[in-house]
């Protein structure tokens, strides 16, 4: 399995219910909530995904394409954080 398979299967870390809101809020900063949630659940694929999201923040300083990368990264991070929040409620 890889982080790409995790994205294709929409397989986000299933954190405990009391931590679901925390990881959702932390994903305002791309990758932080994903990385923390994957550490809590020992999910290696999502750990890689969180690290990639954090690294993409630094790439977003490239002129012209940087803002596009940042907006896409932030949007995906918020979506993934919401998926983790939903999964914690089930």
pLDDT of amino acid 12: 86
pLDDT of amino acid 10: 85
CA 40, CA 18: separation in Å to the nearest integer?
A: 12
CA 23, CA 49: separation in Å to the nearest integer?
A: 14
- What are the residue ranges spanned by the domains of the chain? 3-89
CA 50: distance to chain centroid?
A: 5
Q: Which of 73, 35, 69 is nearest to 51 (CA)?
A: 35
CA 46, CA 1: separation in Å to the nearest integer?
A: 11
CB 78 within 8 A of CB 27: yes
pLDDT tens digits, residue range 23-82?
999 999 998 999 999 999 988 888 888 888 999 888 888 888 889 999 999 999 999 999
């Amino acid at each position: 399995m890889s982080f790409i398979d995790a994205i294709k299967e929409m397989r986000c870390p299933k954190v405990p219910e009391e931590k679901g809101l925390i990881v959702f809020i932390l994903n305002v900063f791309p990758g932080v909530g994903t990385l923390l949630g994957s550490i809590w659940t020992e999910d290696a694929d999502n750990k890689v995904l969180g690290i990639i999201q954090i690294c993409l923040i630094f790439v977003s300083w490239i002129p012209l394409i940087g803002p596009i990368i940042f907006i896409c990264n932030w949007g995906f991070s918020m979506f993934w954080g919401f998926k983790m929040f939903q999964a914690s409620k089930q």
